[in-house]
Copies of this chain bind each other. A is one copy, B any other.
Amino acid sequence: MKNILVASPAPRDALDPLAGSANLLWLADMSPEELEAALPSVDCLFVNFWPKELDGARLAKMTRLSFVQSGLAGVNHIPFGELSPDVTVSSNAGGYSDEVGEFAWGLLLAGAKRIVRFGAEVSENQLRSPLELGREVVVLRGRTLGVMGYGGIGRVVARIGAAFGMKVKVYSRRRETGGGVEFFDGASGLDQLLRTSDAVVLAVPLTNSTRKAIGREQLVSMRRGAILVNVARAEVVDQQAVYEHLVQYKDFVYATDVWWTKDGRECYPPELPFLGLRNFIGTPHVAGPSAVASGGPLRNSLDNLTRYAKGELVRNVVDRSDYL
């Protein structure tokens, strides 16, 4: 039987299906002494955010550790540098796809239809003519949607884009075809997608190659009235560059559910005064959490933990070189 150290806030009974094939150790129940004693026996970790208890010294004592399952879709919080290269790490890809994909559309439309900005004008009793206001609204039918990343979330975003009558372009590392979608890859592919899209949704993991993938140069290449939506990780976008772009181009919109981190935690208000900009829309990282109540993300993790416990091949294995 494998020993799984659970450092996720999962409800106890949700992991009952593992009972026959693994021993569960709950980090929240353990004293520091108990944890120290248990470290050498841990085969597997199930984490959401990385627990501060599991620092480098303790990780070094987990000599049997062979598998880490993330409860979050992204694994950018995992300290790959402190894990042995023999440890397999799986993301929770797919666990949040529908909910985060829907949320991306909420942000995209809030930007395109100026819902927040015009709502504020109504509250402030600003009266502009309907024709003037109407010209500021972005009509999506016939325009181009760019989706950066074509995992579960990107696919949901693309499917809905087609229903809006948009041309859908996808940037993906994997060359794919079909589905009425045009695929792009490589740096020049990303440039081309950004230059020719009216709305861009970021749905990539935060890796070495996606960190600050959207910087000053990329922003300047985008269409003037474009809408950039981030449901991935804030760090895919360069904070200073997007702030300056928003200040300079009032008809460009940045709508995000994710925030730049400081000391390992997402924080808002962010360092720069985004909240005062009418072309910035921010929500407090709720897209992923909106999936939790359904139990979907946990079922997805549990499925993989069960595979591990039974000695089967696990899914959603990430490439550590993307993160080191």
Contact = CB atoms under 8 A, between A and B. Distances in A.
Interface of A: 98-99, 102-103, 105-107, 109-110, 112-116, 118-119, 121-123, 125, 127-128, 130-131, 133-137, 139-141, 159-160, 162-165, 268-269, 275, 281-294
A119 B116 contact: yes
A110 B118 contact: no
B162 A118 contact: no
Given A116-B119, A283-B114, A284-B118, A103 B289 contact: no
User: How many identical subunits does the complex contain?
Assistant: 2
Contacts of A288: 130, 134
Contacts of A160: 160, 163-164
Given A133-B289, A139-B99, A123 B275 contact: yes
Contact of A115 (B269, B283, B292): B283
B286 A118 contact: yes
B130 A285 contact: yes
A269 B119 CA distance: 11
A119 B259 CA distance: 13
Contacts of A159: 163
